[in-house]
Structure 1
């Protein structure tokens, strides 16, 4: 009979296929912004601020993806299918704000901020970072796609 102690299971840490955490840096520099996550539209984490654990980032990514999907469905439903595009979502909570913004059809950014944040400045800066994220994802996708034979 084997009496060696069983190995303690370790939490799984999946390497990010493309870490785009850098997109959050200018946002985290804004007064009042406390944390952020970058996610794929299907709810997988693509990056996060240093103070967000992998587990919290994964939960946040999954929930943000669901919220964005529900918002798109709401817009389509109330406009009789004429408008399914969501530009941003601001959630006002007791401790501050959660700002969500899709980045094209493949990703999104969500940041948390205290009530002291200038929401207009945050909105502007997030949209700037959304454009950079879209470009980075397009560039990464183009680099992975083999060129067609001549």
Structure 2
């Protein structure tokens, strides 16, 4: 079963999420070499995914990505020179290609899988553009749910 229902909402364990941000992946999936992607909350919950990512795969990828981000922040804090340990991106190079992870503020992250033919520089640039759009969408959604604030 796909991670998306006919309505386009992402399902996790049978429950649709109230905010599906899969749209943020569309420009990335259009890049040559990018195979699939997942958008996740910083605590590892799926917020969106490419059409070929089923619920189980998305949840597993989201949980692992959340752990990788946590470990990377700890590494930056531990080896940094007094910085805050904020991670901008992580590129994992594997024999099958690349995995690109980018936090989107303090609430979400994007992870994409790409073949070895991907232009990593173009991917990095495009992911950062989408990160900014995702942050804005999450801010607007949060403001809409909070009485007395403006979007």
Q: Tell me whether the two structures share a fold, i.e. TM-score over 0.5.
A: yes
- What secondary structure sits across from 1:112 in the alignment? strand
**The structure with more radius of gyration:** 1
The match for 1:39 is 40
Which 5+ residue runs of structure 2 have no aligned equivalent? 1-11
When the two structures are superposed, what TM-score results if normalisation uses the length of structure 2?
Answer: 0.89
In the other structure, the counterpart of 2:75 is 74
**What 5-or-longer segments of structure 1 have no aligned partner?**
1-10
Q: Please state whether the residue corresponding to 1:63 is helix, strand or coil.
A: helix
1:80, CA displacement in angstroms? 4.7
RMSD: 1.2
- Note the alpha carbon deviations across 1:114-134, whole angstroms, 9 max, x for none: 000000000000000000000
CA shift at 1:17, angstroms? 2.1
- Matched residue, 1:19: 20
- The yes-or-no answer on 1:142 pairing with 2:148 is no
State how far apart, in whole Å, the 2-side matches of 1:21 and 1:12 are. 17
TM-score by length of structure 1 reads: 0.89
SS in 2 for 1:65: helix
Residue-pair matches, total: 138
